[in-house]
Every structure is written in C-alpha cells, then in structure tokens.
Amino acid sequence: MVRKLPLVESMRRRIRKTKFAQALLVVASLWLASSCAHTIPRFGIGGRYNEGKEEVTKTRGGNIDRAVSALEAVVRQDPTYRDSLALLGRAYYKKGRYGDAKQIIIRALALNKDDEISWLVLGLARIRLGENQQGLEDIKGGLTLLGKAMRNGYKGFPEWDPNRTVRVSLRRTVLVAAKGLEEKNDLVRSVEQLLDRIDDEEWRQGRDRVIDDIRR
C-alpha cells in the first residue's frame, strides 16, 4: 500500500493539471464567444455601454447597427458615461455617417480634449467629408497624444503591446501623416488599421487578464 501512494498522488496532480487546463480553455472560449454574440440579454446603462463597445471594437464581424442603437440609448441617458460619446462617434464613422461622427466626436472632445482616439476618428471623419487640412491636423495631434499615452502601459494595462504590433502600426502612420495630403487615401487606411490594432490588443489583454485571475 505504501508503494502505491506516490502513484496515487501523481495521478491526482495530473487530474488537477488537466482540470486547470480545461478551465483555461473554457475561459478562452467564453471570452471569444462574448466578442461574437450574446445570448443573455443585458439591461441598464452599463450593459448597453458594454454591448455597444464590444460591437464597435470588433475588428471582424461587429454589428454596427446594434452598436449605434446601444450607444445612442446610453448617450440619451447620460452623455458623460465613460467614453460613450467617443464610441458612438466611432460607430457612426464605421456606418459611413461621417457628418454625425464629426458632431458627436466634437462633443466627446469637449468632455476630454486629450482623448487620442477621438482626435484620430475626428480627423478621419473630416477627411471623408473633404475637410482635408483640418483632418490631417487632427490626426497628427491624435498620433502625438497616442505616442505619449503608450509610454507606460495603456488603457489600464501595464504590459501593453509586448509584441509591438500597435507601436509598429503607429510608427508607420506617423510616417504617412508626415507626407501630408499627397498620401490621403493611404493615411485613412493606416489610421483605420491602427485603431484596429489597438482594439485587437485590448481584446487580447482583457482575455489574458481573465486567465491570470483564474491562475491565482
């Protein structure tokens, strides 16, 4: 019997490790699923905000109509709630409603003039509306603010962008912006791609934080 105990303990350890690995897979699957769809309805201003944000920041397959509906409801109830105005401006931009995006983002910047994402979206909207020079200046200002904001973490994540995906995209966009309006179409694509890289990194950081919490 004594000789069997080490084997039993070894089997127990393996079972615990297997269960832990399975738990991590479940969490990762749930996190991915939450970025694609919700089967459980969520109510209240916080739930609508989260719903809108998830749809806006999905780089693939986001439901922009759902985002607009959710964020408009939040803004009607409390336009100062988190960054709901900025997110609604992004939703309008993705929907092709550039005039609405411009007006909402201007309101967002009145609340937070240092919001680098809002300056970038405002610049994009203005260029789409033909306000090229002002749009270029807005984008340059947003890029400067973004570079400063990412010096020591970003969005509450101390280990932001370890693979430097966002920083590479930022550097490229700065170079394109420096060329001015002669590369206008390339600038628009580059800024849109930069915003997608930021969204992807925030999603990855959030997923990893959930997994780290389980490990503890």
For residue 154, what pLDDT band results from cuts at 50, 70 and 90? very high
**Contact criterion met (CB below 8 Å) for 198 and 120:** no
Task: Work out the average pLDDT over 112-138.
Answer: 98
Eight-class DSSP state of 179: T
Contact 105, 85 (CB under 8 A): yes
pLDDT of residue 68: 97
The SS3 assignment for 167 reads helix
For the chain, give the mean pLDDT.
85
Domain boundaries, the chain: 33-113, 114-216
- Which band of pLDDT confidence, cut at 50, 70 and 90, is reported for residue 206? confident
**Angle in degrees, 0-180, between the axes of helices 132-149 and 116-128, rounded to the nearest 10:** 160
Whether residue 52 contacts residue 67, with contact meaning beta carbons closer than 8 Å, is answered with yes
Q: State the Cα–Cα distance between residues 115 and 109, nearest whole angstrom.
A: 7
Q: How confident is the model at residue 32 (pLDDT cuts 50, 70, 90)?
A: very low
Crossing angle of helices 64-77 and 84-95, in 10° steps, is 150
Which residues are paired to 157 by β-bridges?
Answer: 154
Q: Worst-scoring range by mean pLDDT, 35-49, 52-66, 170-184?
A: 35-49
Query: What is the pLDDT, as a whole number, of residue 169?
Result: 98
**Residue 4, pLDDT score:** 44
* Confidence band for 29, pLDDT divided at 50, 70 and 90: very low
Contacting residues for 87 by C-beta, under 8 A, at least 6 apart: 49, 52, 53, 56, 67, 71
Q: What is the band of 60 on the pLDDT scale with cuts at 50, 70, 90?
A: confident
Structure pTM? Answer: 0.80
CA distances from 210 to 204, 205, 215 (A): 10, 9, 9
The answer, yes or no, to whether residue 17 has pLDDT greater than 70, is no
Q: Is the pLDDT of residue 31 over 80?
A: no
Mean pLDDT computed over 124-131: 98
Q: What angle do CA 56, 60, 206 make, to 5 degrees?
A: 65
Q: Residue 131 is encoded by which pair of tokens?
A: 């306000």
The residue among 130, 128, 117, 126 whose CA lies nearest residue 197 is: 117
d(CA 210, CA 166): 21
Structure tokens at 4: 């069997």
Mean predicted confidence (pLDDT) in 51-79: 94
Decide if pLDDT at 213 tops 50.
Answer: yes
Task: Look at the domain 33-113 and name its fold.
Answer: 1.25.40
Q: What pLDDT is recorded for position 38?
A: 43
Q: Distance between CA atoms of 55 and 100, rounded to whole angstroms?
A: 18
